[in-house]
Structure 1
Amino acid sequence: MPTIVRGSAETVSFAYMNIGATHMLDLAEKTEEGQLYNLISCITFCAFTLEAYFNHLGAIKYDDWIKKERRLSKLKKYKKFCQDLNVSCDFNVRPYLTLTEIFHFRDTMAHGKTSVIEIEKEMEVELDEVNHFTAGAEWKEYATLANAKKALHDVQELIKELHQAENLGNDPFNSTGGGLFAISRT
Structure 2
Amino acid sequence: MSKPLDVIVEKRRTVHTYSELWHASECVLNVGLSNPEGSSWQFLSSILLTAFTFEAYLNHLGSRTMDRWSDYDRLPTDEKFNLLCREIGATFPLGSGARPLQTITELFKFRNTIAHGRTTELNPPPLKRNVGNYLAAHHELLSTPWERCIKDSSFAIRAREDVALVLAKLHEASKDEEALFSSGMSHHSATLVVS
TM-score bracket for the superposition, by shorter chain length:
0.7 to 0.9
Contact 2:51 2:111 in 1 (8 A): yes
- Cα gap change, 1:92 to 1:119, in 2 (>3 Å): same
The answer to whether 1:149 aligns with 2:157 is yes
What's the Cα RMSD here? Answer: 2.8
Structure 2: any 5+ residue segments left out of the alignment?
129-134
Give 2:105's match in structure 1, choosing from 100, 105, 124.
Answer: 100
The answer to whether 1:138 aligns with 2:145 is yes
The answer to whether 1:83 aligns with 2:83 is no
Q: Tell me which residue corresponds to 2:184.
A: 177
Q: Give identity over the alignment, percent.
A: 27
The CA deviation string for residues 84-118 of structure 1, in whole angstroms up to 9 with x for no partner, is: 22222300000001111111111111111121112
Give 1:11's match in structure 2, choosing from 8, 12, 15.
Answer: 15
- Cα gap change, 1:134 to 1:43, in 2 (>3 Å): farther
- Cα gap change, 1:134 to 1:140, in 2 (>3 Å): farther
Equivalent residue runs for 1:18-167 within 5 Å: 18-70=22-74, 72-89=75-92, 90-119=95-124, 135-143=142-150, 144-167=152-175
Larger radius of gyration: 2
Q: Please state whether the residue corresponding to 1:168 is helix, strand or coil.
A: coil
- Once superposed, which parts of structure 1, at least 4 consecutive aligned residues long, lie more than 3 Å away? 1-5, 119-122, 183-186
Q: Within 1, Cα distance between the matches of 2:120 and 2:7?
A: 55
Give the drift of 1:13.
Answer: 0.6
Q: Within 2, Cα distance between the matches of 1:86 and 1:182?
A: 40
- Cα gap change, 1:119 to 1:30, in 2 (>3 Å): farther
Q: Within 2, Cα distance between the matches of 1:171 and 1:69?
A: 24
Give the drift of 1:61.
Answer: 0.4
- Cα gap change, 1:106 to 1:64, in 2 (>3 Å): same
The one-letter amino acid of 1:60's match is R
The CA deviation string for residues 53-82 of structure 1, in whole angstroms up to 9 with x for no partner, is: 000000100111111222x21000111111
Contact 2:9 2:191 in 1 (8 A): yes
- Cα gap change, 1:84 to 1:118, in 2 (>3 Å): same
Structure 1: any 5+ residue segments left out of the alignment?
none
